[in-house]
Chain A
Amino acid sequence: DIQMTQSPSSLSASVGDRVTITCRATQDISSWLAWYQQKPGKAPKSLIYAASSLQSGVPSRFSGSVSGTGFTLTISSLQPEDFATYYCQQYHSFPLTFGGGTKVDLK
């Protein structure tokens, strides 16, 4: 099975900050990676697919990239509604697997 490791597990930031979250896979998954945002008591919401493609309706301050063996989710200017937990998911092969999550809270 492909294991997904996210870092950090949590971070504190202020409105307007640039935030970067990293996800690494235990084997090559090409660009078969999605990012989700989840707020307390709600279902996850898709943000990014194919590592860097923005899902329809998602603000352009969210972006995804591939760097070496890792993947990055960047929020260019954190907004109040962005405080949430973020998960990556690989869809290269079954079983589909998620990262452990990164909780972004207010500094």
Chain B
Amino acid sequence: EVQLVESGGGLVKPGGSLRLSCAASGFIFSSYYMYWVRQAPGKGPEWVSCISTSSSYTYYADSVKGRFTISRDNAKNSLYLQMTGLRAEDTAIYYCARDRRQYQPENWFDLWGQGTLVTVSS
């Protein structure tokens, strides 16, 4: 089955760190650009970060630049998001998502995980 499964969310204090993981299965993970998209409670989705197939290129939203790091391990079919300096406004469900097209990205998402909740609160 083609799927993405996130893990690693939880409750963390402001200023703390967390590492999210996304396990991919059922498709050739190494062929796709991958993304993290988050959604704060009651809000619309917000793109967070993107990584190219070979990790050569990474992109970040200004709101997380310098605090979050996206990475991937193609041998383990896994995507990661290392989050540091967490703030209350980072509270959201974090989804990993796949680009619709192999190798040459289109930058929209045809496959999403179920999401993992990150809560930043003292």
Partners in one complex: yes
Do the beta carbons of A99 and B44 come within 8 Å of each other? Answer: yes
Q: Does A68 contact B (CB under 8 A)?
A: no
Which residues between 10 and 40 of chain A lie within 8 Å of chain B, taking CB atoms? 32, 34, 36
Per-residue A-contact encoding for B97-122, CB less than 8 Å = 1, 0 else: 00010000011111011110000000
Q: Is the interface of A mostly helix, strand, loop or mixed?
A: loop
Do the beta carbons of A91 and B44 come within 8 Å of each other? Answer: no
Q: Does B46 contact A (CB under 8 A)?
A: yes
Q: Which of B45, B47, B61, B108 lies at the interface centre, i.e. has the most chain A CB atoms within 10 A of its CB?
A: B108
Q: Does B95 contact A (CB under 8 A)?
A: yes
Q: Does A7 contact B (CB under 8 A)?
A: no
A98 to B44 Cα, complex, angstroms: 7
Smallest CB-CB A-B distances: 3 pairs: A43-B112, A91-B107, A96-B47
Residues of A within 8 A of B (CB): 32, 34, 36, 42-46, 49, 55, 87, 89, 91, 94-101
A34 to B101 Cα, complex, angstroms: 14
Identify 28 residue pairs between A and B in the complex whose beta-carbon atoms are under 8 Å apart, listed by A's number.
Answer: A32-B107, A34-B109, A36-B109, A42-B114, A43-B95, A43-B112, A43-B113, A43-B115, A44-B45, A44-B95, A44-B109, A44-B112, A46-B100, A46-B108, A46-B110, A49-B100, A49-B108, A49-B110, A87-B45, A89-B45, A91-B107, A94-B50, A95-B47, A95-B59, A96-B107, A96-B108, A98-B46, A98-B47
